[in-house]
Amino acid sequence: MDHPDSHRLPADLPADLDVLVLSHLRWDFVYQRPQHLLSRCARARRVFFCEEPIVHGDSACAPYLSVSPRGAKLRVCVPHLPSGLSHADADVVQRQLLDGLIAEQALDDYAAWYYSPMPVGFTRHLRPAVTIYDCMDELSGFAGASPLLRERERELFARANLVFTGGHSLWEAKREHHPSVYAFPSSIDAAHFARARAIEASPVLADSTDPADQADIPHPRLGYFGVIDERMDLALLAGVADARPDWHIVMVGPVVKIDPDDLPRRPNIHYLGGKAYQDLPAYIAGWDVALMPFARNASTRFISPTKTPEYLAAGKPVVSTSIRDVVQPYGDLGLVAIADSVDDFVAAIARQLAQGDDRGRWLAEVDAFLAGNSWDLTWERMQRLIAGALRGPQARAAPARATV
């Protein structure tokens, strides 16, 4: 449930408050937390989603900012920079491009919304009405992380009015660094993923909607969707495939930051590439068990995978490694099976495949748990806290409390 004091705060933000987003993620890459929240934000106000720069090979390329619409009120802004710029010079150029955007779009009253601390280097001169740090990952734990990240996060903590975190373990790690930190774990668009249940329930619909690149893959199918990167336990994936060659593993998602040649290649592992968000229910409907074979390393220590409630909303039994924000609460409540070794993971999948008469009871427990979880509710609760911050410290909810 949400923080009790938040009910005394106004529910809506001022209609003329624009939102300037500074993100390390690209809007058109994978549809996840930023897209869910900011598409809702953009229903009522202008949102300018500023991505990391694209660096061109030509050092003589003149810097510019491309701005393109994603709906009536949302704009995606991408800096284009020449190669060879130092960090300091890149910050100078991005500051100039951002100042030009602010002047051109008459951004007089706006919120600054950060997904990464790195843009502090070219935004510290800004004076937004309110500053929000939506910390969805511990970016310093990822391979290739900038050595400036921790320093700039400290500066962002000093500037931010509010800090949101993508899960409870991350909230615990950040709550001592700022007086107003709130946990907003992964939410769901339940109706979207419930389409998988409707497809599965109709044999005719299931046959006609199974995507072409999945239709010929035999059952049992064990599926995963999401980015395939350093967070994936590739040895576990290979071990499961080798232990049960009659099971087929379907991997849906782009391969990022790892060499595709390092992926385990087996006749029963199928890499289908990235898919559009609207197509995911059709893929999930054709799976027998959903997987989260995450490695346990620095990059996964604080993750709260959005796919956990999405898999469950789709009605699929789930097997995950012991990621803390999956174990608590999903594993502890018996909604997700937890296993780490190859043998245990295989055994857990076998048990999920054999749910039988227990499936109805399990689905009822899943639906009861998910009933109060939605991106609409998350955005409403965030709005209340932001509106309170705009009114001043005396109107804010009590600090450093977890919010669900």
**Domain-wise residue ranges, the chain:** 4-187+374-395, 190-370
CATH among 3.40.50.2000, 3.40.710.10, 3.30.200.20, 1.20.140.10 for 190-370: 3.40.50.2000
* Kind of pairing between the strands at 289-292 and 269-273: unpaired
User: Which of 10-19, 107-116, 292-301 bottoms out in mean pLDDT, i.e. has the lowest?
Assistant: 10-19
What are the structure tokens assigned to 218, written together?
């035999």
| Contact (Cβ atoms closer than 8 angstroms) between residue 333 and residue 370 | no
Please give the share of the chain, as a percent, with pLDDT higher than 70. 94
Average pLDDT over residues 106-130: 97
The domains spanning 4-187+374-395 and 190-370 adopt the same CATH topology: yes
Q: Is the pLDDT of residue 395 over 50?
A: no
Mean of the per-residue pLDDT values for the chain? Answer: 92
Q: Is the pLDDT of residue 382 over 60?
A: yes
Q: Is the pLDDT of residue 222 over 80?
A: yes
What are the structure tokens assigned to 249, written together?
């593993």
| Contact (Cβ atoms closer than 8 angstroms) between residue 382 and residue 184 | yes
The Cα–Cα gap between 225 and 273 comes to 9
Q: Is the pLDDT of residue 165 over 50?
A: yes
Q: Is the pLDDT of residue 311 over 70?
A: yes
Q: Is the pLDDT of residue 316 over 90?
A: yes
Model confidence at 5, pLDDT cuts 50, 70, 90, reads very low
Q: pLDDT, tens digit, for every residue of 120-144?
A: 999 999 999 999 999 998 888 887 7
Q: What is the CATH number of domain 4-187+374-395?
A: 3.40.50.2000
Q: pLDDT, tens digit, for every residue of 337-350?
A: 999 999 999 999 99
Q: Which residue has the higher pLDDT, 122 or 148?
A: 122
Q: Is the pLDDT of residue 7 over 50?
A: no
Average pLDDT over residues 369-395: 88
Model confidence at 328, pLDDT cuts 50, 70, 90, reads very high
DSSP state of 228: B
Q: How many CB atoms lie within 10 A of CB 15?
A: 7
| Contact (Cβ atoms closer than 8 angstroms) between residue 254 and residue 30 | yes
| Contact (Cβ atoms closer than 8 angstroms) between residue 65 and residue 101 | yes
Q: Is the pLDDT of residue 396 over 50?
A: no
| Residue 393, pLDDT score | 58
Average pLDDT over residues 293-315: 94
The Cα–Cα gap between 368 and 24 comes to 35
Q: pLDDT, tens digit, for every residue of 169-201?
A: 999 999 999 999 999 998 999 999 999 999 998
User: Which of 236-240, 299-303, 340-344 bottoms out in mean pLDDT, i.e. has the lowest?
Assistant: 299-303
| Residue 392, pLDDT score | 78
Average pLDDT over residues 228-257: 97
The Cα–Cα gap between 110 and 16 comes to 8
Q: Is the pLDDT of residue 225 over 90?
A: yes
Model confidence at 401, pLDDT cuts 50, 70, 90, reads very low
Q: Which residue has the tokens 């933000």?
A: 13
> Which of these, 126, 139, 138, 180, lies nearest to 157 by C-alpha position?
180
